[in-house]
A and B are shown apart, each in its own frame.
Chain A
Amino acid sequence: MLTALLILFPLLAGLLVFFVKGNAARNLALGFSIIEFGLAIGAYCLFKHNPDACMLSFDHAWVKSLGIHFSVGIDGMGLLMVLLTTFLVPIIILSSFKNEYSNPHNFYGLILLMQMALIGVFTANDGFLFYVFWELALIPIYFICLLWGGEDRGRITFKFFVYTLFGSLFMLVGLIYLYNHTNVDGLKSWAVQDLYNAGRALTETQQSAVFWMIFIAFAIKMPVFPFHTWQPDTYVTAPTQGTMMLSGIMLKMGTFGVIKWLLPIVPLGLEKWGFTAIVLSVVGIIYASIIAISQKDFKRLIAYSSIAHVGLISAGILSCTQQGIQGAIMQMLAHGVNVVGLFFIADILFRHTGTREMDKLGGIRGMNGNFAVLFLIILLGSVALPLTNGFVGEFLLINGVYQFNATIAAFAGLTVILGAVYMLRAYQKIMLGDRNDSNVAFGSLAGTDKIVLSIICIVIVAFGIYPKPLNDIAEEAVKTIMLNLK
């Protein structure tokens, strides 16, 4: 019941916000999203108390004749993703308080609707429902980018939409194929466990086909090299909050999908093609890192760094080791928080100076020391310094990939070094040195900006020092997943 409520509440809230005029919409949306976070905390407590609590799952027939159920439930990994989503959405809404959007009610309504779809993706226990939520998440973000995006948004959002839809359709066919092979007392079923069984009963060739059909959808969403070409443009063009939703949460749909909807279904396909997929991921890490180093635009740099990070996550997952997957989950959480922080920094810089080009910035530390410290903390989290949240995940990830193949791990490990290079170079150019442009005046931060940055920094440090609560859930979750992989 609680899970269904978690999906229903943002839907109703979003619809309500559509009808509120002016800035009240913004405050209302913030309030609703905080309540939603409260609900998620409630789910967390419940889960801690008893992971199998029936409050956490909900099942109702949707289209009976086709075996489609509205079946949602929270398991360990789903819980972590729901926590991440519900934590980030209020932060994202709060971060928009200094931006003036036209028609704010539509903007915030769409964000809440997107939250609904995201939570649906993370909790769905029915293959068809999963697909529907997966597609639904695309529509609000498409309109957010189209209506409030930057230059040339028509062309770029269009590419984004078609690209991801294209992948999803393949996934749909892959899922229908599995569904056609399910057999529960003579009936077909969309339930996740039945799809697992159906997938495993297939021959190697069939599994390979299904693997690529489904993997392409996830690979485009993450994105993994070479399916990434939509991503940098879209991240740069989207309004900051849209970019945060895309990179902070939506990207995790892809990695989450691989863990829950790909690995357990096609073990043989994975055995055959997993290596190729890992190599692609690792190529993506190095490729994106090198491009990031040569970027001039800070927002674009973050976009490429995101490809590098997700490449490592994907490699860790596909290594199919306990540590690789656990690291991936931890890194998904950390990356979500950090990348939202980084995009927010880029937004603040743009608001104060009117540019995101790093060559035109410089010497901001001298003008605003607090900002410099907060920026540094987020940046260190992103390069995974020990005692920041990024460290735990990255360590486990590289460890997991190493168990799979040492040579690949060596290349994947480059992400640490290259990441430090482009991030620190960016910091140097933006914050240190002389003021490049004497007109640049960087005043003190607005109240809401401070709150958002402080919360993000606290989370980065807190979970860097004491990751145990999350790590425990992740470990348990991965143990269950590993059982399914055997």
Chain B
Amino acid sequence: MKGLLIISGLGILAMLAEIFKFKKLLLPMVLLGIVAAYAFNFMEWKMPMSFSYFDNMIAFDKLALAFSGIIIATAFFWFILANDYFEQDSNMVDHFALVLFALVGALMLTAFKNMTTLFLGVEIMSIPLYVLAASKKRDIKSNEAGFKYLIMGSFASGFLLFGIALVYGATGSFDLMQIRSFISEHGADMPLFFYVGVVMMLIAMCFKVSAAPFHFWAPDVYEGSPTLITALMSTVVKTAAFAAFMRLFMVGFAEISSVWTGILAGIIALSLVIANFSAAMQNNVKRILAYSSISHAAFMLMVILANVRSNLSVNALIYYSLAYSLGSIAAFGIVYNVTKKGNENVDAFNGLAKRNPSLALCMAVAMLSLAGIPITSGFFAKYFVFTAMIGTQYKWLLIVAILTSAVGVYYYLRIVIAMYFKKQDTHEPLPIERSNILVIVLTTAATIAIGIVPGIVAEMFAF
């Protein structure tokens, strides 16, 4: 909770920066603040109890704090990576404030205990992102991205709200635990509109994590938004949305899992197939990564589908979020630097191995991790998902996952092949800012490190 408060405070501070003229100091202050937030988060996590506030509307238990930790750490890396994004722009303080408020929403989502906090979290996280997606004001694609995201996002929020209302109508409560106990008491004779509400909430959440067939916004928004905002969407937002998804369905609606697992299985299968085959046909790297994020979303949904409320599932989702966030931050950091000249196609990577060998190596590791090759963390992430899934009745999904993973390797390796094998157009080395190198190298190293000793993460979150 202290982390949430600190970051809210930072957001307000950022809005004051223009008036009181400390714009230059803002980035160091934000970084310091985030470190402090992480430290407090960690201390709360170390304590053997959970923290409940506002009449149990929001509660930071172990799980929430673990996800918050991942989100805050990712945000820290993101701010270092993004320092020149802020410098280039005239509306720098606004952007700072927006990103920070989006983070506040993300943290709320990890810890909601009540449908109102869920809705608030989703909105607080999404609204800044609509603006940020359109933050390249003179770029028509960026405007399109923002507009599309806003319209589709509002639509999903409508679904969420309607779903919440129907569930409230049936159970008489917004509180997650009360809904849960109400369901277990009146399991058999719930009215039909209750189930409609649950399915509507499922659809809204699937929209937020961009699972097919609710994914149509993702490629356009990812492509149009500034690369760094795309990085933010595919890491912080995703992790938060999954934390919420997991809490909502594995805690709140676990008792009626037979209603939603079938639908979810279909959504997962569709996401796997559509995402991987579409990605294989793209030329724009950001679109490829957008489709790749849909496919990863499907993998994470599998954990929720498995619906085994044990350490195994929780670990699997936490580990997956961590591995995916690390790989994505590295990948987007590199994409951001490589595509600065404007060419966002795969051929922008041609001959990168000659122009900047260490950057190419980091990109190769990131790609192998996203593709799930040992000894990167992406492999263990997939492994945990497979282990969670194999005990369920949805074994056929594993076969779909394997077949589509093989397609997935195609587009990840396309980038590797371009870097190492294709002739480059220019021979000039590609200079990169120090801070960016730091982030890319750190995340790459972490990707390999938690791939070699996954036990660290697995045992850290064994609660």
Contact = CB atoms under 8 A, between A and B. Distances in A.
Interface residues of A, number: 29
Interface string B376-408: 000100010011001100000011001101100
Given A172-B383, A173-B402, A139 B373 contact: yes
A177 interface: yes
Contact of A62 (B390, B420, B455): B455
B455 A135 contact: no
B419 to A, nearest CB: 10
Contact of A65 (B374, B379, B416, B459): B459
Interface in A421-462: none
B454 interface: yes
Interface stretch (A20-28, A146-154, A292-300, A381-389): A146-154
A184 interface: no
Contact of A136 (B375, B403, B413, B417): B375
Contact of A146 (B375, B417, B454): B417
A169 interface: yes
Contacts of A146: 416-417, 420-421
A176 interface: yes
A211 B410 CA distance: 27
A166 B402 contact: yes
Interface residues of B, number: 31
B176 interface: no
Interface string B274-289: 0000000000000000
A64 B399 CA distance: 28
A166 B386 contact: no
A64 B455 contact: yes
Interface in A98-154: 131-132, 135-136, 138-139, 143, 146-147, 153-154
B458 interface: yes
A180 B391 contact: yes
Contact of A177 (B390, B454, B459): B390
B420 A143 contact: yes
Given A65-B462, A136-B374, A147 B421 contact: yes
Contact of A154 (B399, B405, B421, B454): B421
Contacts of B410: 158, 162
A63 interface: yes
Given A139-B373, A162-B409, A165-B409, A65 B386 contact: no
Nearest to B418: A154
B459 A173 contact: no
Nearest to A63: B455
B368 interface: yes
Contacts of B383: 172, 176
A161 B417 CA distance: 12
A139 B383 CA distance: 18
The winner among B374, B413, B421 for most chain A CB atoms within 10 A is: B374
A170 interface: yes
A179 B384 CA distance: 13
A218 B373 CA distance: 18
A124 B458 CA distance: 23
Interface in B315-339: none
B274 to A, nearest CB: 19
A176 B386 contact: yes
A165 B410 CA distance: 11
A1 to B, nearest CB: 20
Contacts of A162: 406, 409-410, 413
B455 A65 contact: yes
A16 interface: no
Given A135-B373, A173-B398, A180 B459 contact: no
A291 interface: no
Contacts of B421: 146-147, 153-154
B374 A135 contact: yes
Given A135-B373, A135-B374, A162-B406, A180 B455 contact: no
A158 B413 contact: yes
A410 interface: no
Nearest to B417: A154
Given A65-B458, A146-B421, A158-B413, A169 B374 contact: no
Contact of B405 (A65, A138, A169, A180): A169
A12 interface: no
A170 B390 contact: no
B402 A63 contact: no
Contacts of A63: 453-455, 458
B420 A170 contact: no
A414 interface: no
Contacts of A62: 453, 455
Interface in A38-79: 62-66
B420 A147 contact: yes
A139 B364 CA distance: 11
A132 B380 CA distance: 10
Contacts of B459: 64-65
Interface in A285-325: none
Given A154-B421, A173-B398, A132 B390 contact: no
Return the 7 tightest CB-CB contacts between A and B, nearest first. A63-B455, A166-B406, A169-B402, A132-B374, A135-B374, A154-B417, A154-B421
Given A165-B405, A173-B402, 17 more contacts: A63-B454, A63-B455, A64-B459, A138-B373, A139-B368, A146-B420, A147-B420, A158-B417, A162-B409, A162-B410, A162-B413, A165-B373, A165-B406, A166-B402, A166-B403, A169-B405, A169-B406
Interface of B: 311, 368, 373-375, 379, 383, 386-387, 390-391, 398-399, 402-403, 405-406, 409-410, 413, 416-417, 420-422, 453-455, 458-459, 462
28 contacts: A63-B454, A64-B455, A65-B455, A65-B459, A66-B387, A132-B375, A132-B379, A135-B379, A138-B373, A146-B417, A147-B420, A147-B421, A153-B421, A154-B421, A161-B409, A162-B409, A165-B373, A165-B405, A166-B403, A169-B402, A169-B405, A169-B406, A173-B386, A173-B398, A173-B399, A176-B390, A179-B387, A180-B391
